[in-house]
Structure 1
Amino acid sequence: MSSPLDKPQIISHIQKSLNYTVFDSKWIPCSAKFVCLGNYARGTGVMQIYEVQQGEAQLIKEQEFPKPIKCGTFGATSLQQRHLATGDFGGNLNIWNLEVPGTPVFSVKAHKEIINSIDGVGGLGIGDGAPEIVTGSRDGTVKVWDTRQKDSPVANMEPGEGETKRDCWTVALGHAFNDQDRCVCAGYDNGDIKLFDLRNMSLRWETNIKNGVCCVEFDRKDINMNKLVATSLEGKFHVFDMRTQHPTKGFSSVSEKAHKSTIWQVKHLPQNRDIFMTTGGAGNLNLWKYEYPSQRSKTDSDDLAVGVAGSVTLLQNATLSTQPIASLDWSPDKKGLCVCSGFDQTVRVLIVTKLSQV
């Protein structure tokens, strides 16, 4: 029997109180720095860059903007550039050189309303193909941008004629394992999950998990689709096995009631795609491991392949706050290092131990 000492531990290494609401926090790749994005009480946006030095988070840059910033990604830029793409409350997509963050290197009015979620691929050595960014908005549309093409999106997924406009809460890019293939997953306020195939410009699959979809993430962007985790408003998450798609049943999944409240985020460990963290509305974090079944597919009575879902095990949990933990980002460079932020206006650097042993 394994003792509790053998389990991973979630340690709060640095805790920093902020004077604004922070919506997103991201590690800057290949550095000991992270960036926080949010809004001041006066209604303006803020970006702060911190460097971890001798157990402290030192503020090294701060910039104020006209609109609050909701979300950010480094995923569509090279490791040399490390430009940050952000979505704001005014529907603007901006890309920043963090060395001189006053003026964006790319800017477009991407949506009519707030950009709730952003993701990127084709940079940082993650995913083949064009350096693309996907944005999801309250205006009901999901758009894909190639920053080499100014002003207009390369793909625009919007409600069809007569369809109800749904608030898109979350987007993720994946299936970018060659120059041609790429998929976008989007989650909506009514529980809809839609998978768009960008190569064929088609809706490949859709389902509904009955509660608002707060976050979706592929376990890896740069491989043939393997797994997708979707989290919901009422504390449940679903892990879909994306390797086998049945013509009518779609993808098989396993679901888990993980938190007593909303699961705001899911983030897979960059160094092990079968380990992921979920963040809860009651200020808690849960660390999970996915176990594959002995066979990932079987044939049904019509001789068609149907996927077989695996199982999930809770490795560890921790409560950091009484307020929701709204964002979390693993360091791409140091296994077990992550940064998270909550609505208690606090950013925390965490160390998760013993991840190589699970």
Structure 2
Amino acid sequence: MSSSLSKPQIIAHAHTGLNFTVFDCKWIPCSAKFVCLGNFPRGTGVIQIHELQHGEVQLVKELEKPKPIKCGTFGASSLQTRHIATGDFDGNLNIWNLEAADVPVYSVKAHKEIVNSIDGVGGLGIGEGAPEIVTGSRDGTVKVWDPRQRDWPVANMEPLEGETRRDCWTVAFGHAFNQEDRCVCAGYDNGDVKLFDLRNMSLRWETNIKNGVCCVEFDRKDINMNKLVATSLEGRFHVFDMRTQHHTKGFASVSEKAHKSTIWQVRHLPQSRDVFMTTGGSGNLHLWKYEYPAQRSEKDCEGVAGGVAGSLSLLQNVTLSTQPITSLDWSPDKQGLCVCSAFDQSVRVLIVTKLNTV
């Protein structure tokens, strides 16, 4: 058997065109359904629910909303309710019951400008502590919300007076391994990556990857910080080992020039935290595996411990479209099943095989 046959394969299982621009797609947990979020040409927002039936994508429900919708997450919801939180172009954070989505079950004017990115934790049995939602906006602020409290954020990370307000493109929760600890990572248009410690309400670490940060994601939200991936505007991504922080050098990292254009997203396989997919501006997907070094930390000449970066291997890649693949979401329930959307106004359901062998 050739080595190519033993590698994971990325198979296009189902495909459907849409009548709107889709910005984000998310699997509905414990179902064969997924949600597409975006905007109609007439300038209104849209939530579409699709179901995978007998190898085909079927439209189940379409909901039109006043403002275009940029991003969504189920991360702060329980498996019983499966409410989706969305951020829109007008700066609103809304939470929707998809069974009765005429009006949101929670709504707040979260930002002065578009909500570029959203993440949730504390729901779906993932991560300890309160259910919380983090939003990042063009207005330069990163805010954390507890849906049980009305109208105000529980944390607000914004530039100091006199500092330039950078466009925040991406946010992600991590380090939610007990009731007290929790971190938020944010990436900005100038290449800044900032790690905020919510327990101490402080900036724990920051770096710059030289190009706009399109996406950040921890390999798992519900463990002591392990790895963080940050993707950039110019086709390069960085993997940071988050276990050992050196007091001057920060976290060790390895980087890879992967795509010929923007890497829009990174998504870790829920069932294996060392496997992840990156989505490219030229319509391609790259499947990666992170290999740990023999030792994850070593002491310098002064006896201070620092991290040691691992290495990356490309497991598979495929080109699906001539347009950027803007979002991807793995099924939390069925290993290897994922859904992705592209600017060709389409959504694709994919199956990645042989993941148990890598």
Once the two structures are aligned, what percentage of the paired residues are identical?
Answer: 82
Partner residue in 2 for 1:124:
124
CA distance in 2, matches of 1:147, 1:66: 21
Partner residue in 1 for 2:314:
314
Q: Secondary structure at the match of 2:77?
A: coil
- Residue 187 of structure 1: how far off its partner (Å): 0.0
- Residue 2 of structure 1: how far off its partner (Å): 5.2
- 2:241 is aligned with what amino acid? D
Is 1:27 equivalent to 2:27 in the alignment? Answer: yes
Partner residue in 2 for 1:45:
45
Unaligned ranges ≥5, structure 1: none
- Residue 33 of structure 1: how far off its partner (Å): 0.2
Unaligned ranges ≥5, structure 2: none
- Residue 37 of structure 1: how far off its partner (Å): 0.2
- Correspondences of 1:1-358 after superposition (within 5 Å): 3-358=3-358
- Residue 60 of structure 1: how far off its partner (Å): 0.8
**TM-score under structure 2 normalisation?**
0.99
Q: Secondary structure at the match of 1:176?
A: coil
Q: Secondary structure at the match of 2:42?
A: coil
Q: Secondary structure at the match of 2:79?
A: coil
CA distance in 2, matches of 1:137, 1:326: 17
Q: Secondary structure at the match of 1:5?
A: helix
- 1:80 is aligned with what amino acid? Q
CA distance in 1, matches of 2:149, 2:40: 32
- Residue 325 of structure 1: how far off its partner (Å): 0.1
- Residue 301 of structure 1: how far off its partner (Å): 1.0
CA distance in 1, matches of 2:56, 2:101: 23
CA distance in 1, matches of 2:333, 2:102: 27
Tell me the alpha carbon deviations over residues 51-92 of structure 1, each in whole angstroms, 9 at most, x when there is no partner: 111111111111001100000000001100100000000000
- Residue 302 of structure 1: how far off its partner (Å): 1.2
**TM-score under structure 1 normalisation?**
0.99
- 1:353 is aligned with what amino acid? T
Q: Name segments (4+ residues, structure 1) moved above 3 Å.
A: none
Q: Secondary structure at the match of 1:356?
A: helix
Q: Secondary structure at the match of 1:274?
A: strand
Tell me the alpha carbon deviations over residues 125-146 of structure 1, each in whole angstroms, 9 at most, x when there is no partner: 1100000000000000000000
CA distance in 2, matches of 1:30, 1:352: 19
CA distance in 1, matches of 2:246, 2:149: 36
